[in-house]
Structure 1
Amino acid sequence: MERDESQPWANLQGALALRRQVEDVVDAFYEEGLDALVLLGIGGTYASALQTEVYLRGKTKLPVIVAHAAEYCTHGTLRITKDSVVLFSSVTGTTEEMVAACQRLKALGCRLFGFVDVPDSPLAPYCTNCISYPKNEQLKLFMVANRFLFLEGAFPDYEHYNAVLEEFLARDLLAVEERADPFAQRFAADKYAHSLKHPEMPHYFIAAGTHFGAAYSYAMCYFEEQHWLRARCLHSSEFFHGALEIVDADTPVTVFIGEDESRPLSLRAAAFLPKITRHLTIIDTKDYPLPGIPSDYRASLSHHILRAVNNRIDVHLEREFRHPMDIRRYYRRLPY
């Protein structure tokens, strides 16, 4: 059940090296003009779209639209036009809702920029521009977002920011994993012990900002799909409007606290929860140094810190529950 933990960080360095290719594509789109940037996704890629949109929300006047592929196929949206640029990521390039949505968007006349890991997949031909490089989805989407911000004059530190990431990010995130490992081991052991006593109780994940998309993905794509553990994701700002009444002393809750503008929302939930539950975990990215990264840049990177911590949790959950993460009962095994 052990996995190779070194490969993802070599992959991250390779993803950072895609920047010049990304810049060429985005620069061409910007020169041609666009009326909106559409972030298309489903499942985990929808979560990444949410992260990218909230990152851009307070930084650009360019309309940014998050489109769920299945919902777009059923009722569309008039805000997306032939002058829109559609950005998406796909691991397999075969998800039927994504293929159908891209077919419809292509027919509309949109320009499609896809990070499709498999270049000869059914999704790739619909791309106006396609880059095939595996993993690091959020990094690639944020790379596009940052280039648009630069072209708008909203990112004066763009070149220095990227130079720092290319030199230090992979190394620093590996150090985060090492630092987080003892905590991750305790978390997994506690989760296993709690599950024996309360097998039907869901684990609540609470987050905001760019961390909300991460929590959405971690609850659904990791805890539920890969670990077969019941989970629910809540936005920090919504927790106090219903969900707090369902939490009791035995409810397991994890709060992800990032470093962007939404940090106070998660701090509020984290301050309240010790009054109610005995099973609270707080993962605050401020607890993990990035020695090579200026503090001003951490807000745009804290979701990567969270992913590094969760990587170690996954390894130890896999071991505690004796459940390999790559097996599925139903997903892509039964027709649906």
Structure 2
Amino acid sequence: MSVANVLTHAQDQVSRIIEAYKERTINRVFLVACGGSSALMYPSKYFIDRESTTITAEVYNSNEFIYRNPSTLGADSLVILCSHKGKTPETTEAAKFAKNKGALTISLMYVATAPLGDESDFIVNYSWAPPGQLDPHPEIANYAILYRLTMGLLAVKEGNKKYEKLLNSLNSFGTVLEKAKEQSINNAQAYAQANKDENVIYTMASGVNYGIAYSFAICILMEMQWKHSHAIHAGEFFHGPFEILDKDVPFILLMGLDETRPMEERALKFLKEHGEKLLILDAKDFDMSVIDEEMRGYLAPLLLNFVLRVYAVELAAATGHPLETRRYMFKVPY
């Protein structure tokens, strides 16, 4: 499929889903996935929490979604699932479980067909580029598709005006990412050389950006670099985790543009007072002038996620440990 057709295809898939919303009563959204796909869900939950007056949203690990069996799951529920290649067994079972409960199920996949799609009412095939590389269509990347689905839902059910602002902003997002890469590459190379031998690196964020910190900790540092890590919520930092900080412990702090930024600023002050090995990635330092002002807080995690992947590529080059190398994943029974 050509690049242009990929864009049109994904937009058509989303349009059909938006039409389906009009035919359903939806009062609960369940965002269901595993690992990095689960991390994708946090910004959309944040948006629904902030914007909706009639719809609630929860993020679930695919297996726990089945085991916990939420009593509110039913015909008035929307379940959005994600698996990059559509083959994650737990997520496929979660889709089947949700459909059996009468929920409307939508699955996001990079591939055109997969077991997850077979168990879902609708699928969306998102665009994807390797870490650190510019996606030709960031407006239909996974995070963007999730926003299209959740903001579109609130546009249909509550008349929320953010959906059109999202679409207009996404059309300019490639320019934002291109500038961000140019701005970050030298700093990423320097960071990689300085931290290639570190055994542990903590990541921290809050609000709409927390999922980005979580994804970087478990998918990049732990899975792809075999470094010890933990994603720390900035609001929880002072309730235990700050005791681990000293001048020899590396921390990455993500600072966004949403309403929870004061928690990140508080953490920043303490990190600067008591730590030295710090990487501060602040969305304010990047040019988002082409993005609608009301959308910048919501789109900051998409920007920070991309910048972190630029750092990941350079870290892998410095460590000599390719991001594709695995010890267990896809290699042994689990």
Give the TM-score normalised by structure 1.
0.89
Output aligned runs, 1:195-214, within 5 Å. 195=198, 199=199, 202-214=200-212
Q: What is the match of residue 29 of structure 2?
A: 37
Q: Note if 1:114 corresponds to 2:112.
A: no
Shift of 1:103: 1.7
Q: What is the match of residue 323 of structure 2?
A: 325
Give the one of 185, 202, 207 matched to 1:181: 185
Higher mean alpha-carbon deviation, 72-81 vs 254-263, is at: 72-81
Higher mean alpha-carbon deviation, 151-160 vs 183-192, is at: 151-160
Output aligned runs, 1:1-336, within 5 Å. 18-61=10-53, 62-135=55-128, 136-153=141-158, 155-156=160-161, 158-166=163-171, 168-193=172-197, 195=198, 199=199, 202-336=200-334
Could you list the per-position Cα deviations for residues 133-172 of structure 1 after superposition, in whole angstroms to 9, with x for gaps in the alignment?
3432111111111112222445325334412421x11122
Q: Within 2, Cα distance between the matches of 1:140 and 1:57?
A: 18
> Which secondary structure does the structure 2 equivalent of 1:301 belong to?
helix
Give the TM-score normalised by structure 2.
0.90
> Which secondary structure does the structure 1 equivalent of 2:280 belong to?
strand
Unaligned stretches of 5+ in structure 1? 1-9
Unaligned stretches of 5+ in structure 2? 129-140
Q: For the Cα contact (< 8 Å) 2:24–2:76, is it kept in 1?
A: no
Q: Within 2, Cα distance between the matches of 1:11 and 1:268?
A: 43
The letter for the 1-side match of 2:82 is S
Could you list the per-position Cα deviations for residues 102-124 of structure 1 after superposition, in whole angstroms to 9, with x for gaps in the alignment?
22112222111111223331111
Shift of 1:310: 1.1
Q: Within 2, Cα distance between the matches of 1:265 and 1:16?
A: 40
Q: For the Cα contact (< 8 Å) 1:29–1:85, is it kept in 2?
A: no
> Which secondary structure does the structure 1 equivalent of 2:174 belong to?
helix
Could you list the per-position Cα deviations for residues 32-67 of structure 1 after superposition, in whole angstroms to 9, with x for gaps in the alignment?
212311111111111112222122211102121222
Q: Within 2, Cα distance between the matches of 1:184 and 1:17?
A: 35
- Given the superposition, is the C-alpha separation of residues 192 and 16 from structure 1 closer, same or farther in structure 2, using an over 3 Å criterion? farther
Q: Within 1, Cα distance between the matches of 2:86 and 2:70?
A: 23
Q: What is the match of residue 5 of structure 1?
A: none
Q: For the Cα contact (< 8 Å) 1:13–1:170, is it kept in 2?
A: no
Q: Within 2, Cα distance between the matches of 1:333 and 1:148?
A: 39
Could you list the per-position Cα deviations for residues 179-222 of structure 1 after superposition, in whole angstroms to 9, with x for gaps in the alignment?
111111111111125x2xxx3xx211110012100000010011
- Given the superposition, is the C-alpha separation of residues 237 and 305 from structure 1 closer, same or farther in structure 2, using an over 3 Å criterion? same
The letter for the 2-side match of 1:149 is L
> Which secondary structure does the structure 2 equivalent of 1:38 belong to?
strand
Alignment RMSD: 2.1
> Which secondary structure does the structure 2 equivalent of 1:18 belong to?
helix
Q: Within 2, Cα distance between the matches of 1:173 and 1:248?
A: 33
Q: For the Cα contact (< 8 Å) 1:173–1:304, is it kept in 2?
A: no
Q: For the Cα contact (< 8 Å) 1:207–1:257, is it kept in 2?
A: yes
Shift of 1:74: 2.0
Shift of 1:13: 11
Q: What is the match of residue 134 of structure 2?
A: none
- Given the superposition, is the C-alpha separation of residues 331 and 107 from structure 1 closer, same or farther in structure 2, using an over 3 Å criterion? same
- Given the superposition, is the C-alpha separation of residues 263 and 11 from structure 1 closer, same or farther in structure 2, using an over 3 Å criterion? farther
Shift of 1:255: 0.6
Higher mean alpha-carbon deviation, 227-236 vs 143-152, is at: 143-152
> Which secondary structure does the structure 1 equivalent of 2:51 belong to?
coil
- Given the superposition, is the C-alpha separation of residues 185 and 317 from structure 1 closer, same or farther in structure 2, using an over 3 Å criterion? same
